[in-house]
Amino acid sequence: MSLDATVHLLPALVDLPFREGYVRSIVYVSLYVSGIAVLLSTLFSIPVAIVMGFTDFPGKQVVKAIINTGMGFPSVVVGLLVLFIVSNQGPLGPLELIFTKEAMIISQFVLATPPITAISLAAITGVSDNVREAARALGGTRLDTALVVIKEARYGIATAILAGFGRAISEVGSVLIVGGNITSAGGVSKTRTLTTAIQLEARQGQYDTAMVLGGVLLTLVLTVNAIVVRFGDAGSMNR
Amino acid sequence: MIRLSNVSHAYGGEPIVDDLTLSADPGEVVAIIGPSGVGKTTVLRILALFTQPSSGRVELDGQPAWAADEAERLALRRHVGMVFQEASLFDASVARNVEYGLRVRQPWSDRLREGLWSIAGSNGTPGAVREALDVVGMGDKVDQSARSLSGGEAQRVSFARALAYDPSYLLLDEPTSDLDPRNTGVIEEAIREARDRDIGVVVATHDMHQAERIADRVAVLLGDGFTEVGPAETMFESPTDDRTRKFISGELVY
């Protein structure tokens, strides 16, 4: 279909050349892979940011520099490294993860962790020393003080998680390399995500399909952002 | 009694204060006056057990604070409230701010239970919180966000936050330096109320008139030590030390 067809996009929506369940399966794979990867990244990143925000240790600046460098790490390189690790000859070869969602989760974990850690750390260290001192002065223990700081940094931490999710779900290079962009014989996605599907459709000249999938991706990202922002607003008075 | 005995403190090899002795009894207001940058905040931080002095003794109700272990020191610290020059309120409602000191003194089981209840709905405001807010005239702002308060209101809430858990001693670091006369009056009245509750108050201020209005005793910090410590009524009328006299009369300019 030519690019002109996009002008008639709305009527085309009811008659797109999608097989039954195709789009749904792609959305599911995208959300599943990015969601799990960001969940694991968050569970790893927040404690790391807290430890780095509250303690001084030799080499802290080096660790910070590595995390910041990680934010700009090219995703195709991450994909390539994960491919080596999960390939038959790699250390995780026996687990047969290559071209699976799990391999995609690993690569997205690697990509999402640096922004979540770095932005959370910036939020935590950005909390005024006066607030820490106030918590101590009011009789707080070290743990109480840490909890106050995390609470004060909560919007920054939420932004960090969103940034991680944004990087994961909009990422193409690494999931293409380690996932393979595979569908089953019935046309249902196995490792095809919205981004890899868009890339494939555009390459095949299916611009209207690619744009619809792009619209779905945008809607997903906006919805997740809106939920987090709304959640933050609702909680702002009841803390 | 909260007491410093022969306390000296240096930072980075530079002596800040030297050989200080000062005490405050329950129900007494002691003002530390001196020019900005002389070390008044350092003295308060030492009294609050935030800073360990380079030498000398800090005692709270007869117990040497720095001979105790960390848990014992925390227990001692919890008898002391401190209000800073900046209000430093948490990004939460006024009630949640003032409750904080009470909450951290509860066992974790109670705190978790109350946390769960607060998700289900409001727990209500504890009486001590309302009482403390009433002292500073903020009883009607319980549910307001701390972020929405003016500077004067925030400082009043900060005072209520330290008063709510009924400390034995209250340390105030220039509590009214950024406030207008009305808010200053409210804070000074609250200091008198604290004294009536038998709380020992140490207030650092560069405002000599304020010291004269609220203090029972005054300690003049000039250079690196107290030049004079004595009753407020005689200090301003007839200081015995020559530097104190010059400072009070405005001749000694820093």
Domain boundaries, chain B: 2-249
CB-based burial label for B205 (10 Å; 0-12, 13-18, 19+): buried
pLDDT at A238: 41
DSSP state at residue A183: B
Residues of A in contact with B50 (CB under 8 A): 133, 136-137
To the nearest whole Å, the CA of B87 is away from the closest chain A CA by 9
Amino acid identity, residue B29?
A: V
A133, A144, A152 member nearest B91 (Cβ): A152
pLDDT at B36: 86
Residue A54 resides in a domain:
yes
Residue written as tokens 């020393």?
A: A129
pLDDT at B122: 61
**Which superfamily does B2-249 belong to?**
P-loop containing nucleotide triphosphate hydrolases (3.40.50.300)
Question: How distant is the alpha carbon of residue B216 from its chain centre?
Answer: 15
Is the CB of residue B71 less than 8 Å from the CB of residue B34? no
Q: By the CB < 8 Å criterion, does A152 face chain B?
A: yes
Residue A38 resides in a domain:
yes
pLDDT at B174: 93
ipTM, two decimals, is: 0.88
Q: Would you give per-residue pLDDT tens digits along chain B (254 residues)? A: 999 999 999 988 888 999 999 999 999 999 999 988 889 999 999 999 999 999 999 999 999 999 989 999 999 999 999 999 999 999 999 999 999 999 999 888 888 888 777 766 666 678 889 999 999 999 999 999 999 999 999 999 999 999 999 999 999 999 998 889 999 999 999 999 999 999 999 999 988 999 999 999 999 999 889 999 999 988 888 888 889 998 888 876 55
CB-based burial label for A119 (10 Å; 0-12, 13-18, 19+): buried
To the nearest whole Å, the CA of B116 is away from the closest chain A CA by 12
- CATH classification at residue A90: 1.10.3720.10
Show Cβ contacts of residue B231 under 8 Å, excluding neighbours closer than 6 positions: B216, B217, B218
Residue A237 resides in a domain:
no
Residues of B in contact with A236 (CB under 8 A): 91, 145
Token code pair at residue A17 = 């050349």
Residue written as tokens 């390189």?
A: A77
What is d(CA A190, CA A197) in angstroms, rounded to the nearest whole number? 12
Q: How many CB pairs (< 8 A) connect A and B?
A: 62
Q: By the CB < 8 Å criterion, does A148 face chain B?
A: yes
Spell out a b/e string for B158-176, using b for 16 or more CB atoms within 10 Å of the CB, else e.
Answer: bbbbbbbbebbbbbbbbbb
- The DSSP result for B3-25, as a single string, is EEEEEEEEETTEEEEEEEEEEE-
Average pLDDT by stretches of 10, chain A with 239 residues: 50 55 90 97 95 91 92 92 94 93 96 96 94 94 92 92 92 94 88 95 91 93 83 52
Amino acid identity, residue B130?
A: R
What is d(CA A85, CA B48) in angstroms, rounded to the nearest whole number? 55
Q: By the CB < 8 Å criterion, does B16 face chain A?
A: no
How large is the angle between the packed helices A207-235 and A22-54, nearest 10 degrees? 40
User: Taking the CA of residue B87 as centre, how many other CA atoms within 13 Å lie in the half-sphere pointing to its CB?
Assistant: 25
pLDDT at A186: 82
- Per the structure, the count of domains in chain A is 1
pLDDT at B8: 95
- Give the global pTM: 0.81
To the nearest whole Å, the CA of A239 is away from the closest chain B CA by 5
pLDDT at A11: 45
B81, B90, B162 member nearest A148 (Cβ): B90
Residues of A in contact with B88 (CB under 8 A): 128, 130-131, 133-134
B89, B92, B158 member nearest A239 (Cβ): B92
Domain of residue A179 covers 23-193
Interchain contact, A138 vs B89, CB within 8 Å? no
Interchain contact, B50 vs A133, CB within 8 Å? yes
Assign A29 to helix, strand or coil. Answer: helix
DSSP state at residue B93: B
What is d(CA A66, CA A59) in angstroms, rounded to the nearest whole number? 11
Torsional class of B82: left (φ above 0), alpha (ψ -120 to 50), beta (otherwise): beta
A131, A133, A238 member nearest B90 (Cβ): A131
Residue A229 resides in a domain:
no
In sequence order, which ranges of B54-126 are alpha helices (DSSP H)? 70-77, 94-103, 108-120
B84, B96, B118 member nearest A130 (Cβ): B84
